[in-house]
Chains A and B, each alone.
Chain A
Amino acid sequence: MSMTPAEAAGNHVTAKAEKVKKTKPVRETFKQYILGPVIAFVLFIALWQAVPALLGMPHYILPKPTDVISAAVSDGALLWEAVQITVFESVIGFLLSAVIGIAVSILLASSKIIERSIYPYAIILQTLPVVAVAPIVVIWFGAGFNAIVVVSFLIGFFPVISNTLMGLNSVDREKDDLFSLYNASKWQKMWKLRLPSAMPFIMAGLKISCTLSIVGAIVGEYVAGVGGGEGGLGYAITVSAIQVNTAFIFACAIAGALLGITFYLLISLLSNKILGSWHESAMKK
Chain B
Amino acid sequence: METEKQQAIAFSQLSKVFQNGTAALDRLNLTIEEGEFITFLGPSGCGKSTALRMAAGLEEPSTGAVNVFGRSPKDTIENTNDIAFVFQEPNLLPWRKVLDNVILPLELRGISKKEAREEGLRVLDMVGLKKYAKVFPRELSGGMKMRVSIARALAAKPKLLLMDEPFAALDEMTRQRLQLELLEIWEKEKTTILFVTHNVFEAVYLSTTIAVMSAGPGRLSSVIQVDLPRPRQSISRTDELFSAYVKKASDQLEDSLDEREDVS
Contact = CB atoms under 8 A, between A and B. Distances in A.
B146 to A, nearest CB: 14
B93 A196 contact: yes
A182 B152 CA distance: 11
Interface of A: 174-175, 177-184, 188, 192-193, 196, 199, 277-280
8 contacts: A178-B85, A178-B87, A182-B105, A183-B77, A188-B108, A196-B93, A196-B95, A279-B94
A29 B164 CA distance: 47
A193 B91 CA distance: 12
Given A277-B136, A278-B138, A179 B108 contact: yes
Given A278-B136, A278-B138, A279-B94, A182 B104 contact: yes
B163 to A, nearest CB: 13
Interface of B: 53, 56-58, 77-78, 81, 83-85, 87, 89, 91, 93-95, 104-105, 107-109, 136, 138, 156
Nearest to B152: A178
A200 to B, nearest CB: 10
A199 B93 CA distance: 13
A16 B189 CA distance: 56
Q: Which of A174, A183, A199, A278 has the largest number of chain B CB atoms within 10 A?
A: A183
Contacts of A277: 95, 136
Contacts of B77: 180-183
Main SS at interface, chain B: loop
Given A181-B58, A183-B108, A174 B91 contact: yes
Given A180-B58, A181-B77, A278 B91 contact: no
- The prevalent SS among residues of A at the interface is helix
Contacts of A181: 56-58, 77, 83-85
A184 B93 contact: no
A182 B108 contact: yes
Given A180-B58, A188-B108, A174 B89 contact: yes
Given A183-B78, A277-B136, A199 B95 contact: yes
A192 B109 CA distance: 13
Contacts of B85: 177-178, 181
Nearest to A183: B77
A279 B78 CA distance: 32
A177 B89 CA distance: 12
B52 to A, nearest CB: 11
B255 to A, nearest CB: 33
A277 B91 CA distance: 17
Contacts of A193: 93
A181 B138 CA distance: 24
B6 to A, nearest CB: 22
B78 A278 contact: no
Given A278-B136, A278-B138, A184 B95 contact: no
B108 A177 contact: no
A25 B221 CA distance: 62
Contacts of A182: 77, 81, 104-105, 108-109, 156
Contacts of B83: 181
B162 to A, nearest CB: 9
10 nearest A-B pairs in the assembled complex, by CB-CB distance: A278-B94, A278-B95, A182-B105, A182-B108, A196-B95, A184-B108, A174-B91, A177-B58, A183-B77, A181-B85
B161 to A, nearest CB: 12
Given A181-B77, A183-B78, A278-B136, A175 B104 contact: no
Contact of A174 (B81, B87, B95): B87
A196 B95 CA distance: 7
Nearest to A277: B136
Contacts of B91: 174-175, 178
A184 B110 CA distance: 10
Residue with the highest number of chain A CB atoms closer than 10 Å, among B87, B89, B93: B93
Given A180-B58, A181-B77, A278-B95, 9 more contacts: A174-B91, A181-B56, A181-B58, A183-B109, A184-B108, A192-B104, A196-B93, A199-B95, A280-B138
A179 B109 CA distance: 11
B185 to A, nearest CB: 19
Contacts of A183: 77-78, 81, 108-109
A115 B101 CA distance: 30
A175 B104 CA distance: 12
A267 B57 CA distance: 42
A149 to B, nearest CB: 33
B139 to A, nearest CB: 10
> Looking at B57, B85, B108, which has the most chain A CB atoms within 10 Å of its CB?
B108
B120 to A, nearest CB: 14
A231 B29 CA distance: 78
A184 B87 CA distance: 17
A17 B94 CA distance: 33
B193 to A, nearest CB: 16
A270 to B, nearest CB: 16
A100 B56 CA distance: 38
B78 to A, nearest CB: 6
